[in-house]
Amino acid sequence: MEKELKKAFQKAKFEENSNLASNIWQNIIIRNRRIARLKLWTFSLTGLISLSGIIPAWKALLSDLAQSGFYEYLSLIFSNDGSFFHYSKEIMLSIAESIPTMSIIMSLSLVFVLFLSLKHVTKQIINNNQIFSQASPV
């Protein structure tokens, strides 16, 4: 049995493929390019969606500010009759109560997502330039 195994291993002699290293390198580069393109398109799409949502969110925020009486309370601060100094605590509490919190959170979160996606898009563009400029191994 040992002789048969020895003959089988001698027949199945390993021959090295001369293009193996360059094929592996090319497959790694192709995979990195695909991943970079996918990330670039994903972040771009996220940025466009958040950009398209910012305008309605800001309109809703301005509408909520007008409906809540926030501007009237805020105008008391700049009035000349000095009532703000006498009733500053009550005016500040009224301003705090009239702030449309959910509209502010929605608007600011969309702006945050837009800037975050812009950051990642620029990072992916820089990475794409580096990935596409890679040469095959020598």
The pTM (predicted TM-score) of the whole model is 0.68
91 alpha carbon, distance to own chain's centre: 39
Q: State pLDDT tens for residues 61-107.
A: 999 988 988 888 778 777 767 777 777 788 788 888 888 889 999 99
133: helix, strand or coil: coil
Q: What DSSP designation does 12 have?
A: T
> Which residue ranges make up each domain of the chain?
28-132
Give the model's pLDDT for residue 138.
43
DSSP 100: -
